[in-house]
Structure 1
Amino acid sequence: MSEEIDKLRWGIGCLVGAALSYLLGEESRINAESLGRVIRVVQIKDSSLLFDTASIVLPLIVTVSGIVGSNKGLKLESSKVKAVILHETTSKCILKPCVKNEVDNRGNSVEVCSWKEEQKGSHTVKKEVPWYLDDGTSKVFVLNAESASKFWESVGRHVGSCKSQILPVRGTVVDSRQKEPDVLVKTTVTTQPLLITGTPLTVIGEAVKDRSGRIRIQQPERGPFYVSRKNIDELNDEFAGVERSLKCVSLVLSSCGIFLIGMHTFQCIKKRFFKQKSCKRCGHRINSEQRSSQLTECPLCREQANQLDRAFRG
């Protein structure tokens, strides 16, 4: 009975997984179709010509490729490169003294003071400067890149910097003349660059023109928004491959689910059929009760003996 229930559960689970895989495949197909409607800008200098048709096509979704640049990048102490987006994490922990009595080599008891971390806390601040894509012909600025799809897959693992500082909360730094050392605070500042200048990127989003005439790409209210190292053709091929894979997974899971549920249904019907058959009387009667009790099956129809006994008692 438990095996039949397990088959039913596995069958239902396979069908649910098939449905989810199919929906994810449809989402990839929709993403690929949305990329197919994007206007491709070959050279950034020609992007200003697109605004002549902006009254007809809104929002104006374009794809632009270029090198990341900035007029005032964020300098890093650990390297000569400049970042346009970085995260600065400040961690603080309180160090409290912990005095222990230990025995030295001569057998004398010596007080040893060590520091113990008791409280910890951290917060992260994002720093970003205006940056643009430059393909050699012109520049286009990009806004809110962190909210774009594929952004976190495109940022590199660049070497950051880490600085630590220990300061007393009160008094001066601990010396040997103090009976009880002061409580110290250890501050660690870690700088992790996310996007540095000179990185080749492709941005897909809504192109708008500000009051100064500069063109910028931002997240549209409806439509794709991508920041990736891959160009639009590579993204389209990626979505198509994901769609095919998920559709195949959905087909396999649905086949397994139907097979398991069908096997469970067949076993239930078979079990019910044999149960009804075992309760049916064959109708043959043996005159001798002693002889019928020794038989294991009916000598005429070869049915089970319990059916024969019921017929005899009736």
Structure 2
Amino acid sequence: MIPIIVTISGRVGSETPINCQHSGLRGVIVEGTAEQHFLKHNDAGSWIQDSALMLSMCKEVPWYLDDETGRVYVVGARGAVGFALTVGSEVFEESGRSIVRGTLDYLQGLKMLGVKRIEQVLPTGSSLTVVGEAVKDDIGTIRIQKPQKGPFYVSPKSIDQLVSNLGKWTRWYKYASFGLTIFGVFLITKHAIHYYLERRRRWELRRRVLAAAAKRAGSDNEDSTLKAENGTGTNQDCVMPDLCVICLEQEYNAVFIQL
């Protein structure tokens, strides 16, 4: 079955919104984190600042988009492209100045600074644009969710801005494809030139070997003719220098001995 991809823009709403603890906002998705900040004594004898995550929580209630003509529920928005929460509050709570606690921390090489609490929220009344698959549940409620194959966007941008951004990405992909094509042609050309030069080098070496062999054969024939004319070729061996096995033109000047 082909999924029905729709686009809807509206304001976020919920029948059971969440009251944020620190910011006082009302939202449909709330994420909270708490980080312990402290100074740590390193091996060099100095203090460096560090932090550790103490708490991470997320709350979400059923929510919808209202475009003044109806309501459409949105499911799985946190996994959509372009989804982002607004920072509702960011509070730093300093640690208490207890002498006993400070002494224990100092013995452990720590100095507690405090706890940083961050609260991010998708507030009610904010405008969103959703692109996804429209489905109807058993009781007839329409909702938008992530399709198995296809786009799923949840963004504060308008549909025109989303289309413009997609056009920019399309141009970037086009330029990248052109650049990769040029690079591929360069690699193929480089390989072809290297193959041609290697074949030419081998052909030149083969030509030199054949010429050296022909030259040596001609020299042997001349020596045999001279020996036959002088009558000394039957009892004496002609001293012929051994040639290099690489160039076959010059006398070798090194040998390999197996130890």
CA offset at residue 157 of structure 1? 6.1
Q: What is the TM-score when the length of structure 2 is the normalising length?
A: 0.60
Q: Does 1:146 align with 2:68?
A: no
Q: Percent identity?
A: 28
Give the structure 2 partner of residue 244 of structure 1: 174
Amino acid at match of 2:200: K
Alignment of 1:72-111 (within 5 A): 72-75=17-20, 77=22, 82-92=26-36
Which of 161, 174, 177 is 2:99 aligned to? Answer: 174
Letter in 2 for 1:190: R
How far apart in 1 are the matches of 2:170 and 2:133?
23
Number of positions where the alignment pairs a residue of Structure 1 with one of Structure 2: 209
Q: Name the structure 2 match of 1:163.
A: 92
Distance 1:186-1:128 versus aligned 2 partners, 3 A rule = farther
**Distance in 2 of aligned mates of 1:164 and 1:204:** 40
State the shift of 1:164 in Å: 1.9
Equivalent position amino acid for 1:163 in 2: F
Name the amino acid aligned to 2:71. K
Alignment CA distance shift 1:213-1:126 (3 Å): same
Match of 1:190 in 2: 117
**Structure 2: where are the runs of 5+ without partners?**
42-46, 106-110, 224-246, 252-259
Alpha-carbon distance change, 159 to 275 in structure 1, aligned in 2, over 3 angstroms? farther
Report the alpha carbon displacement of residue 149 of structure 1 after superposing the two structures with TM.
2.6
How do 1:1-314 and structure 2 match up within 5 A? 59-71=3-15, 72-75=17-20, 77=22, 82-92=26-36, 120-151=52-83, 155=84, 158=87, 160-166=89-95, 173-174=98-99, 181-183=103-105, 188-193=115-120, 195-210=122-137, 213-228=140-155, 229-231=157-159, 233-234=163-164, 237-238=167-168, 240-281=170-211, 283=214
For residue 263 of structure 1, what is the amino acid of its counterpart? I
Query: For structure 1, which segment, 157-166 or 181-190, has the greater mean C-alpha deviation from structure 2 after superposition?
Result: 181-190
* 1:102-158 Cα deviation digits (max 9, x unpaired): xxxxxxxxxxxxx9989944342223333322222222121111112333xxx2664
**Alpha-carbon distance change, 191 to 236 in structure 1, aligned in 2, over 3 angstroms:** same
Secondary structure of the 1:280 match is helix
Q: Is the 8 A contact 1:67 1:199 kept in 2?
A: yes
Cα distance between partner residues in 2 of 1:61 and 1:194: 27
Which structure has more helix as a fraction of its residues? 1
Give per-residue Cα distances to partners, 1:178-208, cap 9 Å, x unaligned.
9x83448665242242534444332122223
